[in-house]
Amino acid sequence: QVKLVESGGGSVQSGGSLRLSCEGSGFGLSRYCMAWWRQAPGLKREWVGAIESDGTASYADFVKGRFSISQDNSKKTLYLQMDSLKNEDTAMYYCAAEVSSGGYCYLPLVDDAMDYWGKGTLVTVSS
């Protein structure tokens, strides 16, 4: 059974950092397109970034230079390093997997294309 579990969320001051983790079970994360999404209260879910099976990462413009995606294949864990956090980064963050694309992330990703989702971890950034 495929399962994704996020952790690492919390409250942080503007300018601070957090590292989110997404632990997968039931499948190998490194074989698929893995992505981070977020949803702020009252807003649509938006794509944050993704990493392909060869390690190539892509990011939404609003996080470029501040967020970084990596994965530890031995631990079956995906990470999202978030630096220089802003108040507007406050959201529930989700990891998701697209298993039907052969390890490629065809941008722009749409949430309907993702096959598996975690339940999310909340990030709150305040001044």
Burial of 43 (0-12, 13-18, 19+ CB in 10 A): exposed
Task: Name the nearest CA neighbour of 76 among 23, 125, 18, 33.
Answer: 23
Q: Tell me the pLDDT tens digit for each residue of 22-35.
A: 999 988 888 899 99
Per residue in 69-97, pLDDT tens?
Answer: 999 988 899 999 999 999 999 999 999 99
Distance CA 77, CA 29 (A): 7
pLDDT in tens, 46-75: 999 999 999 999 999 999 999 999 999 888
pLDDT of 100 higher than 90: no
Rounded Cα distance, 96 and 109, in Å? 11
